[in-house]
Amino acid sequence: MIDLDSARRLAADWCGAWNRRDLDGIMRHYADDVRLCSPKVVERCGIADGWIAGKDRLRAYFAIGLRAPDLRFELVDVLLGVNAVSVVYRRETGALVTDVLELDEHGLGRRVVVCYGQAG
């Protein structure tokens, strides 16, 4: 199980990679067999159930997200579960977002659910 200090370092590194637009840095946090569900998958990709499977597809999806003007993730908090981390951050739009990552045995995100609040 991951401890809070390790989870905070993971979240800070992940947000930093997004802010630098470092796709390789972002992707190093995910397992090869990752599955991610997000309302943005529905919006951007037209996938009705919101799920993307596999690291290559996730990389392509994130590459679209990196094009957002003024992209900025401000880390708000990190919460722990059993083999899970919830990263709470604020987007450049003002929206509060939570990424819940279920971690594999290597501490990589295997199953991710993203939840969005309203933009400010």
**HSE-up of residue 110 (Cα within 13 Å, Cβ side):** 8
- Residues sharing a CB contact under 8 Å with residue 79, sequence separation 6 or more, in sequence order: 85, 86, 88
pTM of the shown model: 0.93
Q: Which fold has domain 4-116?
A: Nuclear Transport Factor 2; Chain: A, (3.10.450)
Q: What is the end-to-end Cα distance of the chain in Å, rounded? A: 35
Phi, psi of 57 (to 5 degrees): -70, -40
DSSP annotation of 12: H
Q: What is the pLDDT along the chain (120 residues), one digit of tens a residue?
A: 899 999 999 999 999 999 999 999 999 999 999 999 999 999 999 999 999 999 999 999 999 999 998 999 999 999 999 999 999 999 999 999 999 999 999 999 999 999 999 887
